[in-house]
Each structure stands twice: as C-alpha cells, then as structure tokens.
Amino acid sequence: MYHMALIRRRAVPAAEWPYLEKEGFVKELLVLAGDGIGPEVCAQALRVVEVLIAKHQLEVRIENRAIGGASYDLCGTPLSDEVRTLAGEVDAVLVGAVGGPKWQDVSREKRPEAGLLELRKAMRTYINLRPAYCFDPLVDASSLKPDVIKGLNLIFVRELMGGVYFGEPRGVLQISAGVEKGFDTQVYTTPEIERIARAAFDLARQRQNRLVSVDKANVMESGVLWRAVVDRLHEGEYADVALTHMYADNCAMQLVRNPRQFDVILTDNLFGDILSDAAAMVTGSLGMLPSASLSDIGRPGLYEPIHGSAPDIAGQNLANPIATILSIGMALRWSLERPDLGKLVDDAVGKALARGARTRDLGGEMSTEDMGSAIVQAIGVAA
C-alpha cells in the first residue's frame, strides 16, 4: 500500500529511447550509478530493463546522473540540486553504490555517503524494506548449515529518516588538552515510530501475520518509547498480528541461530543497518540482497543493493550484480506498477543460479557481465 506512484505524461523522443516509438504515459527511472562497483552492477541491471522494454511491454524512460564521489568530482557536491529535484519527479530511483578511499579526506558534509543520506531525506523515504531470502541453489553458499538456512524468507522494515544517523546534536569537541569527545544523538518521536510501525504491521498482514520489533529498551530511553508506541499501535489497530519484542543483541544471535523463526522484523535506523547486513551474509553474500526505500503513496521510491562500493574490486568485472538486478525487481513491484515483471526478474535470477551461475563471492568464476548475461538469458525461460 506504500507503493503507488503518480503516472506523469512525458514526451519520449524515439531517438532518445528507441524502444518507445510514441509519446504516452510512461514511467521514469533515474539511475545514479555512483562509485566503485556501482556503474558495473547498474549496467547489468539496465540490461535487464532493456530486455523487459523490448520484449515484455515495459514502458519506462531512463535518466542517468551522478551521485556520491562521482558527483563530488563533477560538481563539488555529493548530491547536486538537479539530481535532488529530478529524484522527486520520477517514479523510481536506482542507486548503485557510493563512497571509497578516494574521498576519505573530504569534509563530512561533502563525502559520498552524505549525498545518499541527503537523497533519502529529500525523497522522504522513511520506510526501508530489506528482504533476506535464500535461493535453493545457494543453500551451500551460506556459512550456516543447509537445514538452518533452506527456505529462509524474512524482511526487515527499517526506519530510515530518524535515529542516530540524523539526530542532533552531534559532533566532536575538544574538552581539554589532548582529550576530545565524539557524540551522536539517538532520538525518535511518537509520529516517527508510529508511521514505520504501521508500515511493518501492514506488511506483516500481507505475509505470515507475525512481527518482531527490535529495540534496546533495557538500556536506551529511545527504546523505551519505541516499545511503548509499538505496543499502543498493536493494541489499538493491529491486535490480529502476532507481536514479539526482542532486544537487538538477542536478534543478532537469533539470526545466526535460527533465522527462519522470523517473518517481518521492525527496527530503528541503526539496528536495521547492522542486522540486515548480518542477515545478508546468512544468505551467502552481500551481493545477493536488494532494498527498497519508500515514502507515502504518490511519492517515488529509492532502490539499491545493500552492499557498498567495494573499491578493492571496482573496475575488474568481478562484482555480483544480482542485488542490483533484484532491486529493479522491487522497483517493478513497488513503483513501476509491473509486479508481474518483478516476479519475472526474481524467477530469472533463481533459474540462472539453478543452472550454476556463480560470481566469485558465491564460489564461482563468472564475471559481472557473465552473470548479467545468464540472467538476461533466463528471463526468456522464466517467462
């Protein structure tokens, strides 16, 4: 219910996008490939989009722009005013990755990561969906035993615009000679908690009707409020959903002990960041998991793989593009109004893996481009 975007009428010159031969109602996708392996994995995702346009009646116009370090090098800021404006006008935004050692000495507000945080803020994407599921052909890729991981299908609902990443005050102060103090503020308001909890409860109703809310109410005042607000909402509107509370450290343990016990996990910004990365490795590789960052009905969604820019392998054609391709699948479901094609993409990834397609992170030897080709070929079979 948090996925319907407005359809805008835009003229699409045939010379600019040859698959669309006439003007009409089309969706718009903004691609911000970013840094490191971002351009490589986005290129493979766009190959998938091109096949869907050519053979499956997907009508979408694509714009490419810079973000992160690439944007800083181009115009001195990690998020330009043009990109900020455009991101609010399209239907979906795909981000590859941001960051790298090249920009480690840039001031914090100009670092690549600041551009992504500002983009999320500008797009008001307070709902972050991070699924963690294990494709059957990859049960042996996980560090956990196959009988523990087989059939895993959970999803994190992470609050994305509040908490310690955005709280004020924050900074580093010198308090005496040779002594500094670094501080960040973890802060949440009742409305912020209510809106993300409501999204999680709604999603739980569409799945197995089970929700685990994660906090640290035993040591954090923000956690006390978080738990109280979730409980009130549960009692008042969602009593039919089975609700469990869990401390974040226990959740981390349970993710590696028995991950299949979870269905929907509700978290704040910080815990969601950490725990979803742990869940990604449970499935076998960070290169496997997509994410969607959503706002209210009628606003565009932001889609990105959960992995970083991996500068150590950037430009070597080694990165796994699956997470980015699956992010396109999520965009098709939540913003581009083609859930049928979203399923087609997921099925194609599964078929490619079943045929033995593996990049190095999955124990194979395929290049980024080879994996993209395997999935593109599988789209025809999945159809």
pLDDT digits (tens, 9 = 90+) for 96-107: 999 999 999 999
pTM for the full predicted model:
0.87
Residue 296 among the catalytic residues: no
Is 284:231 a contact under the CB 8 Å cutoff?
no
Residue 268 among the catalytic residues: no
| pLDDT of res. 181 | 96
Mean pLDDT (whole number) for 307-336? 96
| pLDDT of res. 255 | 95
All structural domains of the chain, each given as residue ranges with its CATH number in brackets, are: 1-126+295-383 (3.40.718.10), 136-285 (3.40.718.10)
For 59, residues 6+ apart whose C-beta sits below 8 A from its C-beta are 20, 24, 25, 26, 27, 53
**pLDDT tier, 286 (very low <50, low <70, confident <90, very high otherwise):** confident
Q: Name the active-site residue from 35, 91, 215, 273.
A: 273
Is 99:113 a contact under the CB 8 Å cutoff?
yes
pLDDT digits (tens, 9 = 90+) for 161-185: 999 998 999 999 999 999 999 999 9
pLDDT digits (tens, 9 = 90+) for 216-263: 999 999 999 999 999 999 999 999 999 999 999 999 999 999 999 999
One-letter amino acid of 189: T
| pLDDT of res. 381 | 67
**pLDDT tier, 11 (very low <50, low <70, confident <90, very high otherwise):** very low
d(C-alpha 290, C-alpha 329), whole Å = 9
pLDDT digits (tens, 9 = 90+) for 72-90: 999 999 999 999 999 999 9
Residue 249 among the catalytic residues: yes
| pLDDT of res. 382 | 58
14 pLDDT above the threshold of 80: no
Residue 121 among the catalytic residues: no
Q: Name the active-site residue from 249, 296, 312, 340.
A: 249
| pLDDT of res. 9 | 25
Spell out the SS3 assignment of the chain: CCCCCCCEEECCCCCCCCCCCCCEEEEEEEEEEECCCHHHHHHHHHHHHHHHHHHCCCCEEEEEECCCHHHHHHHCCCCCHHHHHHHCCCCEEEEEECCCHHHCCCCHHHCHHHHHHHHHHHHCCCEEEEEEECCHHHCCCCCCCHHHHCCCEEEEEEECCCHHHCCCCCEEEEEECCEEEEECCCCCCHHHHHHHHHHHHHHHHHCCCEEEEEECCCCCHHHHHHHHHHHHHHHHHCCCCEEEEEEHHHHHHHHHHCHHHCCEEEECHHHHHHHHHHHHHHCCCHHHCEEEEECCCCCCEEEEECCCCCCCCCCCCCCCCHHHHHHHHHHHHHCCCCHHHHHHHHHHHHHHHHCCCCEHHHCCCECHHHHHHHHHHHHHHHC
| pLDDT of res. 25 | 57
Q: How far is CA 161 from the centre of its chain?
A: 14
d(C-alpha 244, C-alpha 265), whole Å = 10
Report the greatest alpha carbon distance in the chain.
69
4 pLDDT above the threshold of 60: no
| pLDDT of res. 13 | 36
pLDDT digits (tens, 9 = 90+) for 289-318: 999 999 988 899 999 999 999 999 999 999
Mean pLDDT (whole number) for 5-29? 44
d(C-alpha 288, C-alpha 280), whole Å = 7
317: left (phi over 0), alpha (psi -120 to 50) or beta: left
383 pLDDT above the threshold of 70: no
Q: How far is CA 171 from the centre of its chain?
A: 27
| pLDDT of res. 187 | 97
| pLDDT of res. 141 | 83
pLDDT digits (tens, 9 = 90+) for 115-150: 999 999 999 999 999 999 889 999 888 888 989 999
CB atoms within 10 A of CB 274: 13
Q: Name the active-site residue from 216, 238, 268, 346.
A: 216
Of all residues in the chain, what percent carry a pLDDT higher than 90? 83
Residue 277 among the catalytic residues: yes
Q: Name the active-site residue from 2, 72, 126, 165.
A: 165
| pLDDT of res. 20 | 36
pLDDT digits (tens, 9 = 90+) for 23-49: 445 899 999 999 999 999 999 999 999
